[in-house]
A and B are shown apart, each in its own frame.
Chain A
Amino acid sequence: MERALSMALVVADSRPLVVGALGLVAAAAGAVAILAARGGEREPERPPSDPVGRDSFSGRDTIYGRASSSARSAMRRRLSRVTWLVGIGAGAVTVLIAALLATTAGSTSQGATSSPVEQAPSEAVPEPDELQPPSSLPESAPDGGSSFGFGSGGS
């Protein structure tokens, strides 16, 4: 029973760590997304044998081919900017939420241990669901034994 309770308390006390770790994982995921978006922004390298640029679809050296490649590059740049913004925004929001959750969990945990009288966990230790008998039976005291005179009588 006591072991289970102490385990529960350990789990309860480690909430801020768990939430913080989740926040870090989410932030790392956001960073990976940003790097991936950045990778998509790069211009494809032209082979040295194709200094003027070749339409990657037709393979023809045409003015049209050059213009089409340039438009696609512009679109890629716009898309990559949007991806950047979305990635940075998502990362920031994730970190913010993780920080807020960690703060809330931390303050809840502190509240349960703020003063000597209030050291009990927020959930009371459940009392047994039956009246509990004593672990040893009362015994008759020998006659004439020493007594402090403790009396158990109605009060």
Chain B
Amino acid sequence: MSAPAFASLRGLGTTATIAVTDAAALSEAIDVLERWLEEIDASCSRFRPDSELSALSAAAGAEIEASETLLAAVEAALRAARLTDGLVTPAVGRSLRLAGYDRDLASIGPSARPARLVPAPGWRGIAVDRRRRTVRVQPGVELDLGATAKALAADRAATEAAETLGCGVLVSLGGDIRIAGPAPLAGWRVDVDDAHDALTGRAQALLLQTGGLATSSTTTRRWRRDSRELHHILDPRTGAPAAGPWRTVAVAAATCVDANTASTAAILLGERAPAWLAERNLPARLVRRDGFVIPVAGWPEEPKAA
């Protein structure tokens, strides 16, 4: 087996990286990753007029036939909603659109138009019929699968590449990480920080052997409306950006979908987050607005400053 190798590309509006423990397998691993990025984008993008999700939004309450990928993505999003009492909900699409996140983030410029902050409707108006392979959304409900669909893509790409290529694989989609197959001897080294592509120098370096790791932060994916600065983690109860005590929350879990669900929920749970994560044995790193770090449920302590 040769040395590990990795490659990065753009996908789902972020940086996608795939690393393999066998450099000879890198080319095929990239193919697997590209296929999953396209698959998830074609099914779940809110900004592509030809996506299945756009067709579902235009269906005005009618049932539509869905691909296996969309079915899986909606099911993952509904499970996230159920396990977080609706905090991490796919029904937040309209709230995001009215707040100004109505196109790919890179193309959102400053606007003088004030943001409209509206609560998200209930997620129980979204129904998947697995037997008939259909999805139906109540009129007025707009879906946003962003949180869980990207994590799902990381899960699917990593596990498929590891199974078909027979080596260890790490997939990172904008910092949503999934590890599958045998890890390198010491583990995969990952730096955890506020932003995956702009490490601040305050990052904590970890070694991971398996599972998923996701980090949610209010410091990234921001835009300006009128004089107000907003970010992408909206509280579905109010439609306003989360304003709790946490700047960044990173969570390790069995899968990237579970890690992402928990890290997003923790930002919205506020002070209750550490206990909520500990009850579920989910190792996590919570960073307060002032930079103070709280490790939970077995997350390693920060190294002491020299």
Asked if A and B bind, the verdict is yes
Contact residues in B for A151 (Cβ distance below 8 Å): 172, 175, 190-193, 195-197, 199, 203
Closest-CB distance, A52 to chain B (whole angstroms): 73
Contact residues in B for A148 (Cβ distance below 8 Å): 4, 6, 19, 189
Find out whether the CB atom of A154 lies under 8 angstroms from the CB atom of B220. Answer: yes
Find out whether the CB atom of B215 lies under 8 angstroms from the CB atom of A153. Answer: yes
Closest-CB distance, A74 to chain B (whole angstroms): 57
For the residues of B in contact with A, the DSSP-based class is mixed
Find out whether the CB atom of B68 lies under 8 angstroms from the CB atom of A133. Answer: no
Contact residues in A for B255 (Cβ distance below 8 Å): 132
Output the nearest chain B residue to A108 by Cβ-Cβ distance.
B131
Given known contacts A123-B131, A131-B282, A150 and B253 CB-to-CB distance under 8 angstroms = no
In-complex Cβ contact of B189 among A127, A132, A141, A154 (8 A): A141
Closest-CB distance, B20 to chain A (whole angstroms): 11
Contact residues in B for A154 (Cβ distance below 8 Å): 175, 194-196, 215-221, 248
Contact residues in B for A133 (Cβ distance below 8 Å): 252-254, 280-283, 297
Q: Which of B23-31, B109-117, B205-213 contacts A (4 or more CB under 8 A)?
A: B205-213
1/0 contact trace for B139-178 toward A, CB 8 Å?
Answer: 0000000000010000000000000000000101111110
Contact residues in A for B133 (Cβ distance below 8 Å): 122
Closest-CB distance, A39 to chain B (whole angstroms): 48
Contact residues in A for B191 (Cβ distance below 8 Å): 147, 149-152
A/B pair count, beta carbons within 8 Å: 172
Closest-CB distance, A28 to chain B (whole angstroms): 33
Question: Is residue A48 contacting chain B, with contact meaning CB distance below 8 A?
Answer: no
Interface residues of A in 80-116 (CB under 8 A from B): none
A143, A145, A152 — most chain B CB neighbours (10 Å): A152
Interface residues of A in 128-147 (CB under 8 A from B): 129-141, 143, 145-147
Question: Is residue B39 contacting chain A, with contact meaning CB distance below 8 A?
Answer: yes
Question: Is residue A117 contacting chain B, with contact meaning CB distance below 8 A?
Answer: yes
Find out whether the CB atom of A145 lies under 8 angstroms from the CB atom of B209. Answer: no
Find out whether the CB atom of B207 lies under 8 angstroms from the CB atom of A152. Answer: no
Output the nearest chain B residue to A148 by Cβ-Cβ distance.
B6
Question: Is residue A155 contacting chain B, with contact meaning CB distance below 8 A?
Answer: yes
A8 to B187, CA, bound (A): 37
A119 to B69, CA, bound (A): 11
Question: Is residue A35 contacting chain B, with contact meaning CB distance below 8 A?
Answer: no
Find out whether the CB atom of B196 lies under 8 angstroms from the CB atom of A138. Answer: no
Closest-CB distance, A96 to chain B (whole angstroms): 26
Interface residues of B (CB under 8 A from A): 4, 6, 14, 17, 19, 39, 67-69, 71-72, 75-76, 79, 83, 130-131, 133, 150, 170, 172-177, 186-199, 203-221, 248, 250, 252-255, 258, 261-262, 280-283, 297-301, 303
Pick 10 A–B contacts, CB within 8 A, sort by A: A127-B76, A133-B282, A134-B252, A134-B253, A138-B252, A150-B170, A151-B190, A152-B172, A153-B203, A155-B175
Interface residues of A (CB under 8 A from B): 117-120, 122-124, 127, 129-141, 143, 145-155
